[in-house]
């Protein structure tokens, strides 16, 4: 069974998708990590990020693997390295490149070819898995998403004004929504879940119920 979770940055997709995969006993695929790996590999190789052909070569040659929590790139643990601000602000060089999108979507489809999976990103229900059995579009209001991000940063010892987070969040939303191929849109058959005011475990429980109903489980 394939469960797709798409939505904007900061909606809590990663944590929720990871926990949902755990309770269901499914594999978890963080597709944002794949785009991040392309950018990290390009930065490490000193490649001009605006060179679309060289960037696509990086994507087709990179060895990406994941065991859920841990991300490996060419045999190295890059779980933390792909989350730096430098990678995040350069992500559009990978995400806006149609050739890279095709390469990564194929990798995602290969990953899910013979396992049950919860996959998380922007285009999972629309482009990568249009026939997925259960599609979820997870959102929260901009202020709620920015507050959560602010709290995350606070826990990492960083104090950032809400207004600053809101601004960069809006920029990333606009980039994600405007992307011609694989842009951020809900699939027509996706269930919309707005998580304002919900605790993380409540979101996971809610999604688990949705999946079990879709899967036809007797106790769904």
Task: List residues near ligand DC by CB under 6 A.
Answer: 9, 31-32, 35-36, 91, 95, 121-124, 172, 176, 182
Pick between residue 160 and residue 215 the one whose CB is nearest to ligand DC.
Answer: 160
**CB 24 → ligand DC: shortest distance, Å?**
20
**CB 105 → ligand DC: shortest distance, Å?**
8
**CB 218 → ligand DC: shortest distance, Å?**
33
Ramachandran area for residue 194 (φ above 0: left; ψ -120 to 50: alpha; else beta): beta
Pick between residue 98 and residue 220 the one whose CB is nearest to ligand DC.
Answer: 98
Pick between residue 124 and residue 207 the one whose CB is nearest to ligand DC.
Answer: 124
Distance between CA atoms of residues 146 and 91, nearest Å: 19
**CB 88 → ligand DC: shortest distance, Å?**
7
String of b and e for 74-104 (b: at least 16 CB within 10 Å)? Answer: eeeebeebbeeeebbebbbbbbbbeebbbbb
Pick between residue 44 and residue 212 the one whose CB is nearest to ligand DC.
Answer: 44
DSSP character string of 35-57: HHHHHHHHHHHT--TT-HHHHHH
């Amino acid at each position: 069974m394939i469960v797709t979770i798409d939505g904007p940055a900061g909606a809590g997709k990663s944590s929720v998708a990871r926990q949902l995969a755990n309770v269901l006993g499914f594999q978890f695929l963080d597709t944002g990590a794949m785009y991040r790996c392309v950018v990290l590999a390009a930065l490490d190789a000193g490649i001009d990020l605006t060179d679309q052909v060289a960037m696509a070569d990086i994507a087709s040659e990179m060895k990406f693997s994941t065991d859920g929590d841990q991300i490996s790139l060419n045999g190295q643990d890059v779980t933390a390295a792909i989350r730096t601000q430098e990678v995040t602000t350069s992500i559009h060089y990978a995400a806006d490149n149609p050739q890279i999108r095709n390469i990564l979507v194929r990798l995602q489809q290969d990953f899910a070819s013979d396992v049950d999976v919860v996959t998380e990103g922007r285009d999972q229900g629309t482009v990568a898995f249009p026939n997925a059995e259960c599609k979820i579009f997870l959102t929260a209001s901009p202020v709620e998403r920015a507050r959560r991000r602010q709290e995350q940063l606070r826990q990492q010892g960083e104090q950032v004004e809400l207004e600053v987070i809101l601004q960069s969040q809006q920029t990333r939303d606009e980039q994600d929504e405007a992307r011609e191929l694989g842009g951020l849109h809900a699939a027509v058959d996706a269930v919309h879940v707005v998580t304002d005011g919900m605790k993380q475990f409540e979101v996971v429980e809610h999604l688990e119920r949705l999946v079990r109903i879709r899967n036809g489980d007797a106790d769904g």
